[in-house]
Copies of this chain bind each other. A is one copy, B any other.
Amino acid sequence: MSEIFDQINPPARLLMGPGPINADPRVLRAMSAQLVGQYDPAMTHYMNETMALYRQVFETQNQWTILIDGTSRAGIEAVLVSAIEPGDKVLVPVFGRFGHLLTEIAHRCGAEVHTIEMPWGEVFKPEQIEEAIKKVQPKMLAVVQGDTSTTMLQPLEELGAICQRYGVLFYSDATASIAGNPFKTDAWGLDAVSVGLQKCLGGPSGSAPVTFSERYVEVVRKRQHVEAGIRDAHHQDSAGQIIRSNYFDIPMILDYWGEERLNHHTEASSMLYCARECARIVLQEGLDACITRHQLNGDAMRAGAEGLNLKLFGDQDHKMTNVLGVYIPEGIPGEAVRTAMLLDFGIEIGTSFGPLKGKIWRIGTMGYNARKDAVLVTLAALENVLRRMGHKLPMGEAVDRAMAVYGQGQ
């Protein structure tokens, strides 16, 4: 039976979960631009521009600031598999689900992975991480900046100096936090950073911007091998162990993005157009202004949630600006609330997993949806749903408190 279905026509949704969120309409339009050839001067020019744009987003001078063609975890795997040789020690401070993910991926790369753990809802002090570094003496420290599973933002400012002191590569995944929270690649001494588009950058999942310090590149270049099918007589292999992945082989990908333009994959052009536009939107607003907007709308959502008589989750001094955890009130059916929000109001809020499964909701204010109207309609809808499910709350208070944060209090 041949079934061809209808043209794509998704229902209208306001995505106020922990991401993905609605893409900025400008990003969607950018993706509808027609393709050019892989080595067309226009294409390589767009690749160079994309590098220049993400240098600004990452606050770095790193030459090697490129895209990995895949979702954000493709960026993570590329960073790890290219640097880690089997047996290398990697230290992962785990404070949520994405710390486990780094652990899991590093383990599959053959690393001897060491973890330190914090309860979900807290972050590490730099001295705790330094102590573990001293003990483990890892090749790399791999740490998530913002872990949406707990809504926590790990401070990174002091870790670069610590890593420098002990000769450790410093890598962070900032997928959930970039452009909504400060992130300073060079000032904080990072060697590798990976992100995705589907959070504060306001795009769809499917492209992973990454940036690498010279030190990181030096490490992975020691493992450089050129594909047999395109190898010329002058290509020489390096002494390091071959990287276990072809797709995620950073040295080869750099030679594709660099002057050499050596064929690797066929660049995912539409996703490159998309990533380029995400960066342009953030930079036109101004990176600092964009972060301030996330702070403002996150604060408004938090004030509103308190107005709904909801208890906040986690260490509020280390909360990401762009996602809020609130406890599901005793006796209120968490999933039924989410379903009513989605099917009656067209608004998605997030569930949670692991130790927080069934305990908290996660409400995002990020990217295109870090907007006053998005915050206010979410609060108004949630007030209605919670009241009808039997939750006691002061009527009208949620929106009023959010309004006060916007300077429109009565």
Across the interface, do A105 and B246 meet the contact criterion of CB distance under 8 Å? Answer: yes
* A12-30 interface bits toward B, Cβ cutoff 8 Å, 1 = contact, 0 = none: 1101010111110110111
Q: Which of B7, B29, B205, B354 contacts A280 (CB 8 A)?
A: B7
A:222-276 near B, CB below 8 Å = 227-230, 242-248, 263, 265-271, 273-274, 276
A186 beta carbon closer than 8 Å to chain B: no
Which of chain B's residues have a CB closer than 8 A to the CB of A4?
A: 53, 280, 283-284
Question: Distance in Å from the Cβ of A391 to the closest Cβ of chain B?
Answer: 23
Given contacts A46-B8, A206-B270, A266-B20, contact A104 B35 (CB under 8 A): no
Which of chain B's residues have a CB closer than 8 A to the CB of A354?
A: 229-230
Question: Distance in Å from the Cβ of A322 to the closest Cβ of chain B?
Answer: 15
Across the interface, do A34 and B49 meet the contact criterion of CB distance under 8 Å? Answer: no
Interface centre among A35, A104, A243 (most CB of B within 10 A): A35
Question: Distance in Å from the Cβ of A109 to the closest Cβ of chain B?
Answer: 8
Which of chain B's residues have a CB closer than 8 A to the CB of A25?
A: 34
Q: Which of B2, B73, B242 contacts A247 (CB 8 A)?
A: B73
Besides A77-B246, A97-B230, 18 more A-B contacts (Cβ < 8 Å) are: A7-B30, A8-B33, A10-B34, A10-B36, A10-B42, A13-B35, A20-B35, A23-B35, A23-B270, A28-B270, A29-B32, A70-B265, A74-B74, A74-B265, A104-B227, A204-B270, A205-B267, A205-B268
Across the interface, do A108 and B246 meet the contact criterion of CB distance under 8 Å? Answer: yes
Which of chain B's residues have a CB closer than 8 A to the CB of A11?
A: 36, 40, 42
Question: Distance in Å from the Cβ of A205 to the closest Cβ of chain B?
Answer: 4
Across the interface, do A35 and B53 meet the contact criterion of CB distance under 8 Å? Answer: no
Which of chain B's residues have a CB closer than 8 A to the CB of A230?
A: 97, 353-354
Compute how far the CA of A52 lies from the CA of B284 in the bound complex, rounded to whole angstroms. Answer: 42
Across the interface, do B77 and A247 meet the contact criterion of CB distance under 8 Å? Answer: yes
Given contacts A5-B53, A280-B5, contact A38 B23 (CB under 8 A): no
Q: Residue on B with the closest CB to A23?
A: B35
A410 beta carbon closer than 8 Å to chain B: no
Q: Residue on B with the closest CB to A107?
A: B242
A325 beta carbon closer than 8 Å to chain B: no
A71 beta carbon closer than 8 Å to chain B: yes
Q: Which of B23, B97, B196, B204 contacts A229 (CB 8 A)?
A: B97
Which of chain B's residues have a CB closer than 8 A to the CB of A29?
A: 32
A313 beta carbon closer than 8 Å to chain B: no
A:29-66 near B, CB below 8 Å = 29-38, 40, 42-43, 46, 49, 52-53, 56
Compute how far the CA of A81 lies from the CA of B243 in the bound complex, rounded to whole angstroms. Answer: 13
* A100-129 interface bits toward B, Cβ cutoff 8 Å, 1 = contact, 0 = none: 110111011110000000000000000000
* A179-204 interface bits toward B, Cβ cutoff 8 Å, 1 = contact, 0 = none: 00000000000000000101000001
Compute how far the CA of A31 lies from the CA of B206 in the bound complex, rounded to whole angstroms. Answer: 12
Which of chain B's residues have a CB closer than 8 A to the CB of A212?
A: none
A389 beta carbon closer than 8 Å to chain B: no
Q: Which of B12, B21, B101, B276 contacts A227 (CB 8 A)?
A: B101
Can you list 7 A-B pairs with a CB-CB distance of less than 8 A?
A3-B49, A71-B267, A81-B245, A104-B246, A205-B267, A206-B269, A229-B353
A405 beta carbon closer than 8 Å to chain B: no
Interface centre among A52, A206, A228, A274 (most CB of B within 10 A): A206
A326 beta carbon closer than 8 Å to chain B: no
Which of chain B's residues have a CB closer than 8 A to the CB of A268?
A: 70-71, 204-206, 271
